C-alpha cells in the first residue's frame, strides 16, 4: 500500500471516528436498529421484538438532558425577516420537543424501576409521544413554509440571471441546496408523523408494527445522512 493511499485511508477513518463520536449519531444508529427490529418482529414475540425493546430503552440514556437543546432554542431570539406564522411554528416545535424529552426521562425511570408508578409512567409515555407527534407536525408545516419562501426566492433569482448560466452562480446553487435539504426534512417529518401514529396505535389496522418499523427505519437513515459532515477536512501532507 502506497503512502498516499495509507494517508487517504487514515483520513477517511479519522472522519468516521469523528462522526461516530457524536452522541446524536450513535442514537440514530440505535434508532435504525430499533425500528429495523420492529419491522422484522411485526409486533410478535421473539428475538427481534426483544432487540426492539432493549434498544428503545438504551436510546433513552442518550437523550438524558437533551431537552436543554430545544429549551435553549425556545428562548433564543429568532432570525430577522422570518414571518410570524413560521416563528410560532418553530417555537411550538421547540416547546413540544423539549416537553417530549422531559417526559421521556420519567418513562425511562419507570422502565428501569426508579419510578414505581407503572400506570402513571405509561400515561406519561403516551403524552410524550403525542408531544413528539405534535413537534413533527410543526416541523412538517415549518419546512413546507420555508420551501415556499425558497421557491419564490429561486424564481426571482432566475429572472435576474436571465440568459446567464444559473448553475454557475454560487447564490443559486446555495439556494437549491437549501431547498433540497428542506425537502428531505419535510419528508422525514411527514414519515415521523406516521411513526408516532403507529406507536400510539391510533390506526392499528393501517399503521401496523411493520409499517411503523419501516417508516422509522427510513427516517433513522435520513437522520444519519443529515448528520454527515458538510465537507471533508483536507489532510495536509507533511
pLDDT tens digits, one per residue of 148-201: 999 999 888 888 877 677 777 888 889 999 999 999 999 999 999 999 999 999
Residue 132 CA to residue 96 CA, distance in Å, equals 7
Burial class of residue 154 in the structure, from the number of CB atoms within 10 Å of its CB (0-12 exposed, 13-18 middle, 19+ buried): middle
Per the structure block, which three cell numbers stand in for 24?
446524536
Question: 145 pLDDT band (50/70/90 cuts)?
Answer: very high
Averaged confidence pLDDT in the chain: 89
**What pLDDT was estimated at residue 166?**
76
Q: Is the dihedral of CA 41, 47, 49, 55 positive or negative?
A: negative
- If pLDDT is split at 50, 70 and 90, which confidence band does 232 have? very low
**What pLDDT is attached to residue 12?**
84
- 63-108 pLDDT tens trace: 888 899 999 999 998 887 889 999 999 999 999 999 999 999 999 9
Q: Does 3 have pLDDT greater than 80? A: no
> Average of pLDDT values for 103-129?
92
Please give the pLDDT value at position 164: 72
Grade residue 233 by pLDDT with cuts at 50, 70 and 90: very low
Q: What's the pLDDT at 8?
A: 82
pLDDT for 1? 54
**CA 171/CA 111 separation, integer angstroms:** 50
What's this model's pTM, rounded to 2 decimal places? Answer: 0.88
The Cα angle at residue 218 between residues 151 and 60, in degrees rounded to 5: 110
Amino acid at each position: 500500500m502506497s503512502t498516499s493511499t495509507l494517508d487517504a485511508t487514515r483520513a477517511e477513518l479519522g472522519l468516521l471516528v469523528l462522526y461516530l463520536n457524536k452522541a446524536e449519531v450513535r442514537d440514530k444508529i440505535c434508532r435504525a436498529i430499533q425500528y429495523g427490529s420492529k419491522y422484522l418482529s411485526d409486533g410478535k414475540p421473539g428475538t427481534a421484538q426483544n432487540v426492539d425493546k432493549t434498544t428503545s430503552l438504551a436510546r433513552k440514556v442518550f437523550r438524558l438532558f437533551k431537552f436543554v437543546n430545544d429549551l435553549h432554542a425556545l428562548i433564543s431570539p429568532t432570525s430577522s425577516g422570518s414571518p410570524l406564522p413560521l416563528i410560532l411554528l418553530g417555537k411550538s416545535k421547540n416547546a413540544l420537543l423539549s416537553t417530549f424529552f422531559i417526559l421521556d426521562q420519567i418513562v425511562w425511570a419507570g422502565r428501569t424501576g426508579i419510578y414505581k408508578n407503572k400506570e402513571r409512567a405509561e400515561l406519561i409515555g403516551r403524552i410524550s409521544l403525542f408531544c413528539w407527534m405534535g413537534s413533527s407536525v410543526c416541523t412538517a408545516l415549518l419546512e413546507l413554509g420555508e420551501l415556499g419562501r425558497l421557491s419564490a426566492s429561486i424564481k426571482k433569482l432566475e429572472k435576474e440571471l436571465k440568459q446567464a448560466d444559473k448553475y454557475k452562480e454560487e447564490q443559486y446553487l446555495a439556494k437549491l441546496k437549501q431547498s433540497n435539504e428542506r425537502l428531505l426534512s419535510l419528508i422525514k417529518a411527514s414519515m415521523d408523523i406516521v411513526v408516532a401514529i403507529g406507536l400510539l396505535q391510533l390506526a392499528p389496522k393501517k399503521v401496523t408494527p411493520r409499517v411503523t418499523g419501516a417508516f422509522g427505519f427510513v427516517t433513522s437513515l435520513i437522520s444519519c445522512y443529515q448528520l454527515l459532515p458538510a465537507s471533508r477536512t483536507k489532510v495536509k501532507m507533511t
